[in-house]
Amino acid sequence: MKQLHRNFRITTLAAGIDAAIVVSSVQVEGFEKWIGLKRVLYIPHGIDTTRFCPGERNSTHTRAIILIVGGHLRDWEVIHRVIDESNSLGFAIDFHVVTSKENIVYFTRCSNTFLHSEIPESELITLYRNADAVFVPVV
């Protein structure tokens, strides 16, 4: 089977695209080459670091808090194994998982795991501010 050049595949795929939204300004030029001028919209992707920032450390806080957020392309099997292994080794960690209800099934029998779904933004910000680390393995 003949190997097609990458640009041929991209331009062929791009022929059916009416417009594209890109999240980095360096992507604009490349996409304009593939789908045409004035058909690419740049919307910066970023985090509001004045709201999503570390909170004050509670001196009575004796367990680490690991936050897991999202659903798209998350490696749920790895996450579950890390939680299980952390618990079997006796690590003082509480895992907080924020995801959609259909992903909750991945956490059956996970100890020290707190599940959150469909929470308000203010609660999500509090979880981020209280976390010691965010864990986001993806496939």
Contact 65, 83 (CB under 8 A): no
Contacts of residue 44, defined as CB under 8 A and 6 or more positions apart, other chains included, come to: 23, 24, 25
CATH class of 64-134: alpha beta
Polymer length of the chain: 139
List the domain boundaries for the chain.
6-42, 64-134
List per-residue pLDDT tens for the chain, 139 residues long.
Answer: 444 444 555 556 666 788 888 888 898 998 888 888 888 999 887 778 887 777 887 777 789 999 999 998 899 999 999 999 999 999 999 999 999 999 988 888 888 999 999 999 999 999 999 999 999 998 8
Contact 114, 97 (CB under 8 A): yes
Q: Which residues sit opposite 116 in a β-bridge?
A: 98
Distance CA(30)–CA(55), nearest Å, equals 40
Helical ranges in 1-139 per DSSP H: 6-14, 28-35, 76-88, 121-130
Distance CA(56)–CA(115), nearest Å, equals 23
